[in-house]
Amino acid sequence: MLKINNLSAKIDNKSILQDFKLEINPGEVHAIMGPNGSGKSTLSNILSGKKGYDVTGEVLFENNDLFSLETEERAHKGIFLAFQYPLEIPGVNTNVFLKTSLNAIKKARGEKELDAIQFLKLVKEKAKELKFDEEKLGRQLNVGFSGGEKKKNEILQMSILNPKLSILDETDSGLDIDALKTVAEGVNALRKKNNSFLIITHYQRLLEYIKPDFVHVLMNGKIIKSGGPELALELEKKGYENIN
Amino acid sequence: MRDKQIEDLKDYKYGFSTDIESFKAPKGLNEDVIKFISNIKKEPRWLLDWRLKAFERLKVLKEPDWQKPKYPKIDYQDLYYYSAPKSFKDKPKSLDELDPKLLETYQKLGIPLNEQKRLNGIAVDAVFDSVSVATTFKETLTKQGIIFCSISEAVQKHPELVKKYLGTVIPLTDHFFATLNSAVFTDGSFVYIPPGVRCPMELSTYFRINASDTGQFERTLIIADKGSYVSYLEGCTAPMRDENQLHAANVELIALDDAEIKYSTVQNWYPGDKDGKGGIYNFVTKRGLCKGKNSKISWTQVETGSAITWKYPSCILKGDNSIGEFYSIAITNNHQKADTGTKMIHLGKNTKSKIISKGISAGFSDMTYRGLVDISPKATNSNNFTQCDSLLMGNKCGAHTVPYIKNKNSDSNIAHEATTSKISEEQLHYCQQRGLNPEEAVGLIVNGFCKEVLQQLPMEFAVEAQKLVGISLEGSVG
Amino acid sequence: MEDQLKIDFEKKLKDFSYSDQEKKFKETNFEEFLKQGFPNRKLENWKFSDLNQIIKNNIGELTFYNDYKKENQIDKIELISELEHNKIIIVDGKIEKIDFKFEDKDKVVVLVEQGEETIKENINSLINLNNAFSNKFCKIIIKKNYSLKKPLVIYHSTNKNTQSKNTNSRIDFKLEENACLRLIDIFKDNSEKNFLNIYYNFELDKSSILKNYKIDKAINNNVKYSYNNVKQEANSISETFILSSGSKFFKNEINCDLLGQHSSAFVNGIFDLDDENHHEIKSNINHLVENTKSYQLVKSVLEKKSKAVYQGKIFVSSEAQKTDGYQLSNAILLSENSEFNAKPELEIYADDVKCSHGSSSGSLDDNSIFYLMSRGLNFKEAKKLLINGFLLDVIEKITDEEIKNLIKNLLGVKE
């Protein structure tokens, strides 16, 4: 589904990722763990199409060259990024945003767009599943939301947009244990044969609730070690310094 | 593919012109033309005298030059001051007699005048060049004693009301363009709401400039008698022409005790092409007088059109406890220029005013908010709140804020806040990651930025306005 | 007035032997002033004050000639005793004394000569008036890397017998790279009904720091105008603080051109006005390159029939991305006849900027008064306490501790 070959990235001539390689097949859950500054967020930014990076190498998503696609075209193809810091957009109603977004994606895929009633039904259902306060959906997007609510809102958007590849960028940071469980439930509910996940995190905590198939350790812009779920536990014990 | 869509959207969809024979006064500004206009409208002597007095005054007035957008000198002798569809020489008595071309024009503009296709809940007065061509829902309104007609008709049928209020808010001698309007105004709407009546539907005027070399000088007069309420909407379009056209309207609002007037404008005159050629000069004087106690006047405007917009819808808060409000969205793109804002003059006790202004400039355009809040010594316990936000898109455009704040009363409070910012890369990226293309993302964010103002518009207008906000900025995302 | 001007100007030209160039400079400026006259409300910068009217009401007919050959007595002028300082004493526009006794001789250069005027200036008619009638060209240069050990105090005084006179003074300052100057302006008026016109030019080279504190506290019946023209290179800082209080009329105008990256300008001020005093601050902060910063805070406390005007403008050119510009003004009107006018203006041509302004004016907060009184204070004490607090945060903006304390004492403000 996703193939990353020899990806290198620079910003302001500073090298962040070097010869990064990764392959994710349908249905797999990969976790990338790494200390601060290892290049985790750069990876999610580049995959989602954020501008400002000098990039070389190749990224294929379902055999499409990702770099030839605009950010929104990647979203249309089924890439979703749960942001580490979800943006506030004053004046824009959360429901309106979600509906516009969902229908933009449906339209691009040639599917039928949802009308207001169908949409509301869907959003209510999903909000309930994620224990997301429905009243908040009527409010301005992320404005006045707590850190946890913002993160939950990302997962709600994910479950509504139903992407093929979800990238979770430090979604666990700033969540208390209950919110963490809810988020994990949301992810697990979406975990199917064809849906893949790339979970970017600093700590092993989230991985207790979402069992990854593969764990990779990212240091200084390179994957230095890959393994199964046990690697996460090993990391937790030894720390990043002593992993080699 | 996307480029094609943008290209389509960018086109000014009201840019067509109607091929209709018109009947015009000779070119030029002089006493004869004024007499011609007055005569063709069969006006009473007092009104002609009033016009002539304005003309006398005009001779000594100079065009103002303090506003930021400068414009090339206008040759006032090279303009037509009256233009009407030829079929109008003998005014048709009903819509059935109206020239089908006119009906078609309004149909195309989305303002059907036919009985069966009328907009629900909105009564429309349609003004084409210099004359009002049709007013809908007249009977329904008449039943409640509401007068809604063209000002020409009001001069004939309700001269006492016109004489009593005309020029009481914008005096003859006010300033160059207002005085010019007083001398040569052709048509416009007249509204009178009797005491205690809540107008059951939105009243609306749709202005259309069609003829070339023609100035449009409409005059609107709205009187809300004691305890009444009216919501009035105004829309404007013009064909695409290479030359600049002048639109210098006067709008006077009068609210008596406990009355409320809500005046909304969606101004979409032809803005000129992307290189700044052509477009309307929109030099408008709008002023409301809260004459009675507890009266309220609220202006809402969405200004997206015109090559140059220059207007300050104002409130004179004379009655005690009266309230003035101004909600504005102004968008300039390409080479458009706008200098707009409001004046809140607090004269009565316990008067309140609120100003929310959202300015967006893109392309090579220039936008100025200019406003005055003046609390006089007698206006005890009054207050004003002002919020001016500007959004810039690119560094070829300008956004300026020039508020004048005068507080001469120690029991009164004035608070003013202003910010200037741009749409952040992060917000754009976030929206795009959720599948919106850059144009949609900007439209969404800008609509969010404008929300406080859009909320003030009546439902039917709000939807149109939201689309307009998006369309006006097409092509401005780099 | 025109006849008087011409007579006085002729007289002035005869006093000294000017070079042709100097003469030309003075004559050009004089002609320009004759053409424009005193500023009035038609000028956007004078929207709230008509100087013609103010002079007419407070002074009457002005004369413009001053005998610069005459020695003025300066020993009676009361000097600041709280802090050691260098000094310049100006009487009726004439520099009577320059004393940099605390400084290294070669680090502070004073040029006093009928120097060559090369600057073509068309700032406003009062600068023209100043250039036409001011005396000697005085330029003070602070050498590279030198920080003055003690502040420089400039005393502006008038002779006891001087009345209905316009006096003009001009000083140019150059701060070389990494130099630092603390400058205090103090007014010691010995007579009334004069119009003092003061003009300073500042060139701030890279990384230099200028702190200018203008203190107009003593009550007097003079009309004053002061113009600071500041040009700032990279990393330089200018801090201007204005305590505007004692004069009949005082307009302080500050023009700052931020020409080098990471330069910053701070303008803070207090209007503490009583009686019929009418004071004004007009600032122009011009952000002309990337990464510059400005901050302005002005607070007013207005008694009786006093009137304060604050016109603060932030200009951002299209090159000046990443500008950070902020201005705020708050006013408390203590009397029903007092008046506060503001024109906080933004003119912005760059999109990646953070600019904002705010302004508020109104009475003392009744709830706060009530709260304090319920704790046992009487109305007067409560009022004083609140005003104290209101003014404190702008005084706290003064970065020089010594001078901050001096101003606190002058205002009777306590922490």
Mean pLDDT by 10 residues, chain C (415 residues): 91 83 88 93 90 93 88 86 93 93 94 62 88 86 96 95 94 96 96 95 97 96 97 97 97 97 97 96 97 97 96 94 94 93 93 89 85 82 88 93 92 76
Closest CB to B435: pick one of A72, A87, A92. Answer: A72
* Portion of chain A with pLDDT greater than 90, in percent: 47
Confirm if B399 and B418 have CB atoms less than 8 A apart.
no
How far does B475 lie from chain A, in Å, by closest CA? Answer: 17
Rg (CA), chain C: 21
The answer to whether the Cβ–Cβ distance between A105 and B449 falls below 8 Å is: no
Q: Residue C143: its pLDDT value, please?
A: 97
Burial B149-158 (b: 16+ CB within 10 A, else e): bbbbbbbeeb
Q: Please name the residues in contact with A12: beta carbons below 8 A apart, sequence gap of 6 or more.
A: none
Residues of chain B in contact with residue C327, where contact means CB-CB under 8 angstroms, are none
Q: A132: closest CA among A99, A154, A103?
A: A154
The 3-class secondary structure across chain B, one letter per residue, is CHHHHHHHHHCCCCCCCCCCCEEECCCCCCHHHHHHHHHHCCCCHHHHHHHHHHHHHHHHCCCCCCCCCCCCCCCHHHCECCEEEHHHCCCCCCHHHCCHHHHHHHHHCCCCCCHHHCCCCEEEEEEECCEEEEECCHHHHHHCCCEEEEHHHHHHHCHHHHHHHCCCCCCCCCCHHHHHHHHHCCCCEEEEECCCCECCCEEEEEEECCCCCECECCEEEEEECCCCEEEEEEEEECCCCCCEEEECCEEEEEECCCCEEEEEEEECCCCCCCCCCCEEEEEEEEEEEECCCCCEEEEEEEECCCCEEEECCEEEECCCCCEEEEEEEEEECCCCEEEECCEEEECCCCCEEEEEEEEEEECCCEEEEEEEEEECCCCCCCEEEEEEEEEEECCCCEEEEEEEEEECCCCCEEEEEEEEECCCHHHHHHHHHCCCCHHHHHHHHHHHHCHHHHCCCCHHHHHHHHHHHHHHCCCCCC
Domain count, chain A: 1
CA distance C246 to C238: 25
| Residue contact A91–B451, C-beta within 8 A | yes
Angstroms from A8 CA to nearest CA on chain B: 21
Query: CB distance B435–A157 less than 8 Å?
Result: no
Q: How far is C277 from chain B (nearest CA, A)?
A: 15
What mean pLDDT value characterizes chain B? 86
Residue A192's CATH number: 3.40.50.300
Binary contact (A75, B448; C-beta < 8 A): no
pLDDT at residue B117 is higher than 60: no
- Whether residue B13 is predicted with pLDDT greater than 80 in this model: the reply is no
Q: Do C336 and B422 touch (CB under 8 A)?
A: no
CB-CB under 8 Å, C344 with B406: no
**Cα–Cα distance for residue pair A74/A44, rounded to 1 Å:** 13
Q: Does C343 touch chain B (CB under 8 A)?
A: yes
pLDDT band at B137 (very low <50, low <70, confident <90, very high): confident
Strand residue runs (E) in C233-302? 237-244, 249-258, 264-273, 278-287, 293-302
Is the ipTM higher than 0.90? The answer is no
Which other chains touch chain A, taking contact as 3+ CB pairs less than 8 Å apart? B
Residue B34 counted as domain residue: yes
- Tell me the average pLDDT of chain A: 89
* B419 interface with C at CB cutoff 8 Å: yes
Give the total number of structural domains in chain B. 1
What's the gap in Å between the CA of A109 and the closest CA on chain B?
11
What is the chain C residue with the closest CA to B383? C362
Q: What are the backbone angles phi and psi of residue C254, rounded to the nearest 5°?
A: -120, 125
- Alpha-carbon distance of B169 to B315, in angstroms, equals 10
* CB-closest option in B392, B393, B394 to C348: B392
Q: What is the pLDDT of residue A130?
A: 85
Within 8 A of B418 by CB-CB distance, chain C residues are 344, 346, 356-358
3-state secondary structure of C230: strand
Whether pLDDT at A172 is above 90: no
Tell me how far apart the alpha carbons of residues B195 and B229 are, in angstroms, rounded to a whole number. Answer: 9
Residue of B332, B390, B395, B419 for testing the chain C interface, max C β-carbons within 10 Å: B395
Residue A81 sits in which domain range?
A: 2-242
**Which pair of structure tokens corresponds to residue A74?**
């990647």
Tokens of residue C119, six digits: 């600057």
The residue segments making up the domain with residue B190 are 2-91+117-425
User: Measured between CA atoms, how close is C119 to chain B, in angstroms?
Assistant: 29
**Cα gap B453→B298, rounded to integer Å:** 12
**Which of C318, C346, C347, C357 has the most B C-beta neighbours within 10 Å, making it the best mutation to test the interface with B?**
C346
Phi-psi region of B153 (alpha: psi -120 to 50; beta: other; left: phi over 0): alpha
The C-alpha of B383 sits at a distance from chain C's nearest C-alpha, in angstroms, of: 9
Q: Per the CB < 8 Å rule, is C321 touching B395?
A: yes
Average pLDDT score over residue span B65-81: 85
Compute the nearest-CA separation of B377 from chain C (Å).
7
- Answering whether pTM is above 0.80, one says yes
CA distances from residue B337 to B91, B223, B283, B305, B331 in whole angstroms, order as listed? 38, 32, 12, 10, 9
Mean pLDDT of A39-66: 91
Between B401, B402, B414, which is nearest C361 by CB?
B414
Angstrom distance (rounded) from CA A119 to CA A112: 12
Q: Do residue A49 and residue B429 have CB atoms under 8 angstroms apart?
A: yes
Computed over every residue of chain C, the mean pLDDT equals 92
The answer to whether the CB atoms of B433 and A76 lie below 8 A apart is no
Residues 6+ apart with CB under 8 A from A61: A1, A2, A3, A74, A77, A79, A165
A173 burial level (CB within 10 Å; 0-12, 13-18, 19+): middle
pLDDT on residue C317:
95
Beta-ladder partners of C362: C332
Taking CB atoms and an 8 Å limit, are B398 and C346 in contact across chains? no
Q: How many residues does chain C have?
A: 415
Residue from the list B424, B433, B436 with its beta carbon closest to the beta carbon of A100: B436
Give tens-digit pLDDT for A25-38.
999 999 999 888 88
Please compute the mean of the pLDDT values over residues B361-373 and round it to a whole number. 94
The pLDDT score that the predictor gives to residue B15 is: 72
Say which of A72, A87, A157 has its CB closest to residue B426: A87
**B324 inside domain:** yes
- Burial code (b: 16+ CB inside 10 Å, e: under 16) for C72-105 equals bebeebeeeeeeebbbbbbbbbbbbebebeebee
Helix C2-15 to helix C20-36 angle (10° resolution) is: 170
| Chains C and A, touching by 3 or more CB pairs within 8 angstroms | no
